[in-house]
Amino acid sequence: MGRSYIAALHKINFKSGSNGPTNQYRLSFRVQHLSHGFRDTVSLVNEAWPEMFALSKEVIWPCTLTVPEADELVVRTSTRYHSRLSFHPGMPGSRLTMLSTAVGRAYISNVSVAERETLLDMIRQRDDDQAKLACDAHFVEKIMRETQERGYSVNLGEWNTESKFGGLGVAIRLRDDVVASLNLVFLVRAVTDAGTLPKLAQSLQLTGRRIEQRINSLSIP
C-alpha cells in the first residue's frame, strides 16, 4: 500500500526521490503549491460559505468565491454541487480570467489604480485572447466604468469557453482592500426577463455585503 502511494505521488510530480541509497523520499514543491494561499483564505471561506449557501437557496443559481493569484482568479469554494440549476461543478483550484468573466471584472474594476495597472500589464504579456482585450483601452475603460457605476459586473455569454452561461460579480473587501470576488452563474437563455437580472444582482450585492461584515468582524491579518 505504502509503495503504491509513493509511486502515485511520483507520477504526478508530488514526490522527489533521494539522491543516495538511503531510500528516503521528500514531497516536491508542487505540494506546497496546493496549499499556497490557503491559510490566507480559510477564514474567508468559512465566513462566506453560509451566506453563499443561503444565496443559492434563494435564487437557485450557483455562486462561486474566488481569490486572486497572479493575473487570474482561483476558485476557493462554490455552491454548484448544491444548486439544482448547476450544469457543471465549480472545482476548487479552477482558474478564471480577469477580463472575460464577471467575477474577474468585479475584482479588477475595484482594486486600486496601481494594482489594476499592474494586473493589466501582466495580462498584456500573455499569449491569448486576454492579452488582446487588455490592449484594447476602450474595452477596458468601458468594463471598468460600467462595473463601478452599477456596483456589480456582468457577463452575458462573453467568455468563449462558457458562452452559454452568464454571470454577475461583486468584489469582497477586507477593510480597504479587495481580497476576493463572488459571482452568480446562470444560463443566458433562462434569464430573459428584463427585471430578473437586477433582482439577481441585488441579492448578490446583499450577500457580498454580509460576507464583508462577517470577515471584517474577525481579526484577519
**Is pLDDT of 6 > 80?**
no
Lowest-confidence segment of 21-30, 112-121, 128-137, 141-150 by average pLDDT: 21-30
Q: Name the band, by pLDDT with cuts 50, 70 and 90, for residue 86.
A: low
* Pairwise pLDDT comparison (179 vs 83), residue with the higher score: 179
Q: Which pLDDT score, from 0 to 100, does residue 83 have? A: 64
* Pairwise pLDDT comparison (80 vs 160), residue with the higher score: 80
**Is pLDDT of 5 > 70?**
no
Q: If we measure between CA atoms, which residue out of 56, 62, 37 comes closest to residue 180?
A: 37
List domains and CATH numbers for the chain. 2-32 (no CATH), 37-216 (3.30.450.40)
Q: Which long-range contacts (CB under 8 A, 24 or more apart) does 40-44 make?
A: 40/67, 41/67, 41/76, 41/180, 43/215, 43/218, 43/220, 44/76, 44/172, 44/174, 44/179, 44/180, 44/215, 44/220
